[in-house]
Structure 1
Amino acid sequence: MYNNNNYSQIRSMEIGLLITRLVLGLIFMAHGVVKFQGMEGTESYFVSLGLPGFMATLVALAEFFGGLLLIIGLFTRWISVIFVILLVVAIFTAKAGAPFVGGYELDIALIGMALTLAVAGSRYLAVDSLFRRRSRR
């Protein structure tokens, strides 16, 4: 089936994906908390960008709970796709006209992380893998 070298490579890859999942989840949770702590200002900012004020609450919820779901490894691929969409919208609204450095370079890095998880998933220490195991029985 797998020789030790293949197993080691797969395990290393899964640990890397776990780290990516945890870091991305923590970053989004933190951003969601900040939005909730200053929701009135966040809503005003969204309106100044031409977005409806209620979108601030939806984005804060998506960031906080999406980050939490990533951390526990539930719906990893779907949450990652949602984060890519949020980040692309942020680049074209909140970061429009900003320079790359000091503007949207973090968003690009986060998109790269989210796309990696959307494509590869992350099974190590993930709730998703528990469902996969049960469905195989």
Structure 2
Amino acid sequence: MSNKNEMGAFLLRVVLGVVFLAHGAAKFQGGIENVAGWFDSIGLPGALAYVVAIIELVGGIALILGIGTRIVSTLIGFIMVGAIFTVKLPAGFLDGYEYDLVLLTVAVFLVLNGSKLYSLEQLILKGKEDLHSITKSA
């Protein structure tokens, strides 16, 4: 990936992380029990609210730091597909699922391309490669 593409992927990763960190935090701050009750009211298991909120909160932090970008983005993609088909689709495109579709697209981009720039995971992997090359040459 070129430097411009890496910068673009970095921006997408961090913004997606901030958005989901905020959404996850809001679910806990607003009372996760209320969110679980709402999930129940739309026919989803209330326990799923906890799973979604944790993925959003922890996943958002992981994306910002650049840890497990592809895995977290996959999970976020599933959440967005679920949100679109269970809640947003009936409202139509505008004022319905357009925002979720953008978030889904960003998540899919990150699944396909990753994001190594300013990534803690890349820093750790580079450190392991450097250590491996030092021990191999010794």
Query: How does the TM-score come out when normalised to structure 2?
Result: 0.88
Q: 1:16 aligns with which of 8, 32, 49?
A: 8
C-alpha distance in 2 between matches for 1:86 and 1:14 = 25
1:115 equivalent in alignment to 2:108: yes
The farther-off stretch of 100-109 and 52-61 is 52-61
What residue number does 2:136 align with? none
1:65 equivalent in alignment to 2:58: yes
SS at match of 1:97: helix
Q: In the TM superposition, what whole-angstrom CA distance separates every residue of 1:79-133 from its partner, at most 9, and x where no partner exists?
A: 0011000110111112241111100001100011011111110001101212331
One-letter code aligned to 1:63: E
1:30 equivalent in alignment to 2:35: no
- Gap regions ≥5 residues in structure 1: 1-8
Number of aligned residue pairs: 129
What residue number does 1:6 align with? none
- Gap regions ≥5 residues in structure 2: 133-138
The farther-off stretch of 19-28 and 89-98 is 89-98
Q: 1:124 aligns with which of 85, 110, 117?
A: 117
One-letter code aligned to 2:63: L
C-alpha distance in 2 between matches for 1:135 and 1:78 = 21
Identity %: 40
Q: CA deviation at 1:135?
A: 4.0
Query: How does the TM-score come out when normalised to structure 1?
Result: 0.89
Higher helix share: 2
What residue number does 1:47 align with? 40
